Amino acid sequence: MVFAHWKKLGLALLVTSSLTQTAWAASDVLVLSRAEDAPTADPGVEISNSGYTFIYAAYEHLVAYKGATTEVVPELAESWSVDDTNTVWTFKLAQGHKFDDGTPVDAAAVKFSFDRAMKLKAGPSDAFPVLKEVQVVDPGTVKFILSSQFAPFLSTMAVSGAAIINPKVMEHEKDGDMAKAWLAEHTAGSGAYKITSWERNQSVVLDRNEHYAGSTPALKQIVVRTVGEISARRLQLVNGDADIIEQVPVDQAAALKGDPNIVVESNPSLYVNYVYMNNKRPPLDDARVRQAISYAVDYKGIVDGIMQGQAEQMRGAVPDGMWAHDPNGFQYSYDVEKAKALLKEAGKSDIHLTYTFSQADTAWEPVGLALQANLADIGIKLDLQAVADTTKREMAASGNYDLAPGAWTPDFADPYMFMNYWFDPDRMGGPGNRAFYNNPKVAGLVREAASIIDQPKREQLYLEAQKLSTQDAPYLYLMQKNDIFARRAVVKGYVYNPMLIQVYNFATMSKSE
């Protein structure tokens, strides 16, 4: 690798990189290059896929997704049962699992992990809305008591927030934070890897957990580097300085396909790009203004131009490929005159809004430019504001924005992940309802759907809620897109799972020349 290349990336990056350059060439070290650093690696706090990369590598769950499917299979649990009321779940733990300090994983650790998540009350705990109590029956048996039946419960045991944490982490507690500060950049799990160093906005290193109960991974070390510019990430991949690069724009992906040493992964997914519209901030508190904006967007231009056909326009909140998706549901179309008429009906003019975005998704800036041009056609001035992704998340969570792009992937295969997170007013802000939308009828429908087991009935409730909410236009439903990243051809064994975007099965992957 040439010095001029590193000079472009900055002296600090050069110093960090040179220390590990020799290790990167090894067949048992995998280097992943991405645009943004993860906010945290704490399972009780993290809600971004970039953080899930570390959590799934370092922690185990009671159950896990089976390969490329949405079926859950045993991981820490060897078996489970549920009573006739569907409110008491009992898990038997498998023997031999140990945390990275050699401490056995037991029922007390399971209870600690869930009690901690519920006390923190951060985004991950929202996956367990009816969890009343976790009881230790004996060291190998744990019982979950629910306040009411909850159809997706078993699947929620596979989400990031259900990771089992070593209770000894409390030795790092400061000022009652339940070790949140320490776990932001460290891990305490029983997974195949553990974080051994974290240099903010530069690199994170994971080494093998010598106490891991599974087969010894072929990859001894994982290095995750933060490289903001896609041109720099692409050059690293081509030169062999990175094994995987994320956030690859479709035009760059097309160019990489011509390199026999590169494999471009483009997998149909449940990954959606949409835009939060702040329903609490005038003039976006008027549904007619939100509808006007929805009609002003050239969706086909975005899908065909920006995404080069590697996406499809969303039709309602539930994506194509998940049950409760409505293939015949209402879909906004590009209609400038209708948009203008809605603004006139609302009595709104001289509207000036800001679109706040980050580089976490390479589509967000070009989408903002497209929206800027589209909205100008109906008399709305749209400014673009670029910020760090952590800042964007904080602004969205607090409602300090007008329009902001979002990316959403489900953690478990149930429309609850979209409908209840996006539309329940109890989840306003960071947990999911980032439009600050409140329609009591929609809220009632999604809450009822979450409280029953009968799937056909749940589906009808979700379909009705989609119909009503889409008319209210709380979000701009842009596109459901393929998950695209690129890897060196020497990287073997990757298994794509639509539930786990930016999560890699490092423990069963390898590199071969």
Angle between helices 287-296 and 336-346 (to 10 degrees): 160
435 domain residue, yes or no: yes
Q: Which amino acid is at 385?
A: Q
Q: Which amino acid is at 23?
A: A
Q: How far apart are CA 451 and CA 443, in angstroms?
A: 12
**pTM of the complete model:** 0.80
From residue 214, alpha-carbon distances to 79, 98, 193, 211, 507 in Å are 18, 10, 11, 9, 9
Taken in order 110, 115, 116, 120, is the CA torsion positive or negative?
positive
Q: Note the pLDDT of residue 362.
A: 84
Q: Which residues of 394-423 are buried (b: 16+ CB within 10 A; e: fewer)?
A: ebbbebebbbbbbbbbbbbbbbbbbbbbbb
Is residue 476 located within the same domain as residue 493?
A: no
Is the pLDDT assigned to residue 14 strictly greater than 50? Answer: no
Is residue 397 located within the same domain as residue 465?
A: yes
Mean pLDDT of 22-43: 85
Q: How far apart are CA 480 and CA 455, in angstroms?
A: 24
- Short-list 295, 304, 404, 318, CA closest to 354: 404
Tokens of 266: 């483009």
13 domain residue, yes or no: no
Is the pLDDT assigned to residue 65 strictly greater than 50? Answer: yes
Is the pLDDT assigned to residue 137 strictly greater than 80? Answer: yes
Is residue 337 located within the same domain as residue 229?
A: no
Is residue 233 located within the same domain as residue 277?
A: no
Rg (CA), the chain: 23
Is residue 463 located within the same domain as residue 496?
A: no
Is the pLDDT assigned to residue 474 strictly greater than 70? Answer: yes
Is residue 81 located within the same domain as residue 122?
A: yes
Please, are residues 295 and 332 in contact by the beta-carbon 8 Å criterion?
Answer: yes
500 domain residue, yes or no: yes
* Burial degree of 16 (CB within 10 A; 0-12, 13-18, 19+): middle
Reported confidence tier of residue 415, pLDDT bands at 50, 70, 90: very high
Q: How far apart are CA 80 and CA 478, in angstroms?
A: 40
Residue-averaged pLDDT of the chain: 93
Per the rule left: phi > 0, alpha: psi between -120 and 50, beta: everything else, 313 is beta
Is residue 178 located within the same domain as residue 301?
A: no
5 domain residue, yes or no: no
Q: How far apart are CA 320 and CA 467, in angstroms?
A: 15
Domain that holds residue 197: 27-242+489-509
Mean pLDDT of 256-278: 93
19 domain residue, yes or no: no
Q: Note the pLDDT of residue 513.
A: 67
Is the pLDDT assigned to residue 10 strictly greater than 80? Answer: no
Is residue 332 located within the same domain as residue 432?
A: yes
Who contacts 311 (Cβ-Cβ below 8 Å, separation ≥6)? 273, 303, 479, 480, 481, 482
Is residue 296 located within the same domain as residue 190?
A: no
Which is higher by pLDDT, 327 or 431? 327
Mean pLDDT of 162-190: 98
120 domain residue, yes or no: yes
Phi, psi of 218 (to 5 degrees): -70, -30
Mean pLDDT of 150-160: 94
Tokens of 116: 């901690």
Q: Which amino acid is at 51?
A: G
Is residue 313 located within the same domain as residue 416?
A: yes
Reported confidence tier of residue 232, pLDDT bands at 50, 70, 90: very high
| Residue 303 DSSP code | I
Q: Note the pLDDT of residue 17.
A: 41
CATH number at residue 473: 3.10.105.10
**What is the tens place of the pLDDT at every residue in 278-304?**
999 999 999 999 999 999 999 999 999
Tokens of 476: 């701009």
Please, are residues 293 and 375 in contact by the beta-carbon 8 Å criterion?
Answer: yes
Task: Point out the least confidently predicted range of 20-34, 63-77, 94-108, 421-435.
Answer: 20-34
38 domain residue, yes or no: yes
Cis amide prior to 283 (ω within 30 degrees): yes
Is residue 204 located within the same domain as residue 302?
A: no
Q: How far apart are CA 425 and CA 445, in angstroms?
A: 12
Q: Which amino acid is at 421?
A: Y
Q: How far apart are CA 445 and CA 77, in angstroms?
A: 33
Mean pLDDT of 17-46: 79
Q: Which helix (H) or strand (E) holds 302?
A: none
Is residue 304 located within the same domain as residue 417?
A: yes
Pairing assessment for the beta strands 29-34 and 221-226 based on DSSP bridges = parallel
SS3 171: helix
- Short-list 74, 113, 72, 79, CA closest to 213: 74
Structurally, the chain folds into a number of domains equal to 2
Taken in order 376, 380, 383, 384, is the CA torsion positive or negative?
negative
Q: How far apart are CA 490 and CA 150, in angstroms?
A: 43
Please, are residues 335 and 342 in contact by the beta-carbon 8 Å criterion?
Answer: no
104 domain residue, yes or no: yes
Reported confidence tier of residue 430, pLDDT bands at 50, 70, 90: confident
Please, are residues 417 and 410 in contact by the beta-carbon 8 Å criterion?
Answer: yes
Phi, psi of 15 (to 5 degrees): -65, -50
CATH number at residue 158: 3.40.190.10
Please, are residues 124 and 417 in contact by the beta-carbon 8 Å criterion?
Answer: no
Is the pLDDT assigned to residue 100 strictly greater than 90? Answer: yes
